[in-house]
Amino acid sequence: MSENEGHPIGSIHKIDSVPAVTRATFVIAWTALWGSLLVGYNTGIMAGALEFIAGEFPISTLEKSVVVTAILVGGFLGGLLCGLVAERFGQRPVLLATALVYTTSAVACAFADSIATLIVWRFVMGFAVGASTMVLPEYVAETSPARWRGVLVSITPLAITSGFLLAYLADYSLAAQGDWRGMLGSGVIPGTLMLLGLTLAPESPDWLLCKGRIEKARAAYLAVHGVPWPREAMESASCGNEQSVTWSDVAVKPVRSVLIVGAGLFLLQNLSGIDAILYYAPEIFRAAGFASVEGRLLSTVGLGAVNVLATVASALCIDRWGRRPLLLWGLAVMTVGMGLFAASHVSSHDSVLLQRVQVAALSAFIGAFAFGMGAVPYILASEIFPLRVRSRSIGLCSAAAWGINIVVILGFLPLVELSSPEAVFGFFTVVNLFAFFFCLYLVPETKGRSLESIEKNLIAGVRTRDLGQVIEYEGGSGKDRSTP
Encode pLDDT of 294-353 as tens digits: 777 888 888 889 988 988 888 788 878 889 999 999 999 999 999 999 888 776 566 677
Q: What is the mean pLDDT of residues 466-482?
A: 58
Assign 12 a pLDDT band (cuts: 50, 70, 90): very low
- Of 144, 102, 90, 73, nearest to 378 by C-alpha is 144
Mean pLDDT taken over the chain: 81
| Strand, coil or helix: 482 | coil
| Closest C-alpha to 447, from 315, 323, 312, 325 | 323
- Report pLDDT for 21: 66
Whole-angstrom Cα Rg for the chain:
22
pLDDT > 90? residue 394: no
Rounded Cα distance, 274 and 367, in Å: 11
* β-bridge mates for residue 243, sequence order: none
Closest C-alpha to 374, from 141, 157, 151: 157
For residue 203, give the amino acid letter. Answer: E
- Greater confidence (236 vs 161) lies with 161
Which comes out higher in pLDDT, residue 220 or 292? 220
pLDDT tens-place string over residues 411-446: 888 888 888 888 999 999 999 999 999 999 999 998
Asked whether the predicted pLDDT for residue 2 surpasses 50, the reply is no
In percent, the amount of the chain with pLDDT more than 70 equals: 85
- On whether the CB atoms of residues 358 and 341 are closer than 8 A, the answer is yes
Range 13-30 average pLDDT: 62
pLDDT tops 60 at residue 480: no
* 349 burial level (CB within 10 Å; 0-12, 13-18, 19+): exposed
pLDDT grade, residue 99 (50/70/90)? very high
Reported confidence tier of residue 176, pLDDT bands at 50, 70, 90 = confident
Of the candidates 313, 299, 366, the residue with the CA atom closest to the CA atom of residue 158:
313
Q: Is 473 helix (H, G, I), strand (E, B) or coil?
A: strand
How sure is the predictor about 374, in pLDDT bands with cuts at 50, 70 and 90? Answer: confident
Grade residue 17 by pLDDT with cuts at 50, 70 and 90. very low
Q: What are the pLDDT digits (tens) for 139-172? A: 877 776 556 666 666 677 778 888 989 998 998 8
pTM of whole model > 0.75? no
pLDDT, tens digit, for every residue of 272-300?
999 888 888 877 877 766 666 777 788 88
